[in-house]
Amino acid sequence: MVSVVCTIALAAWVGAPALPEARRVIGVLLILASAARLLRQVRWCPHRTHREPLVAILHVAYLVIPIGFPLTGLSFLTDSVAPSAGVHAWTAGAIGIMTLAMMTRVTLGHTGRPLGSGWGTTGIYGLVVVSAMARIVVVLVPEWTTILVPASGPAWCSGFIGFALLFGPALVGGSRK
């Protein structure tokens, strides 16, 4: 059911330029898709994952998807929310965070290392999450651009450079199996 609601909402969003008279309906569909995603995530009990950052970060990344839906929906219902807010949530947020989360877990698993995270892994997750959230906030509060944009880029780069520094040796050195 969640996938159906989201598919309809996203199809309406993609078709939005051809349907200017349906802006309110599209906005409501996107907000309903957010509610469906949030209900799905609550059933997964993400609050139980806080002790293991390798799992918790997956829930954080997934959470940004339902954040993107209402931001995009509100951009159809009001002029006070720019359409790029939802796009930043889905791209910098969900895609960026999930990519880093999967790269760390897969690197550990495929090289035979224990599936756990230290302070460095938690730190790179924090950098990318902060960067993604800054990109979303700056669209909602444009007067913070001069503070958040210059902070967001280096945080994002530092997160991925940190991944290369922490996990590069495992990737180059091969498996411990």
* Mean of per-residue pLDDT scores for the chain: 89
CA–CA distance, 66 with 60 (Å, rounded to integer): 11
Q: State pLDDT tens for residues 22-80.
A: 888 999 999 999 999 888 888 887 787 778 888 889 989 999 999 999 999 999 998 88
Q: State pLDDT tens for residues 125-138.
A: 999 999 999 999 99
Predicted TM-score (pTM) of the model is 0.85
Range of weakest confidence among 57-61, 102-106, 141-145, 170-174: 170-174
CA atoms within 13 A on the CB side of 89: 23
pLDDT at 11: 87
- DSSP letter string, the chain: -HHHHHHHHHHHHHTGGG-GGGHHHHHHHHHHHHHHHHHHHHHT-GGGGTT-HHHHHHHHHHHHHHHHHHHHHHHHH-TTS-THHHHHIIIIIIIHHHHHHHHHHHHHHHTT--S---HHHHHHHHHHHHHHHHHHHHHH-GGGHHHHHHHHHHHHHHHHHHHHHHHHHHHHH----
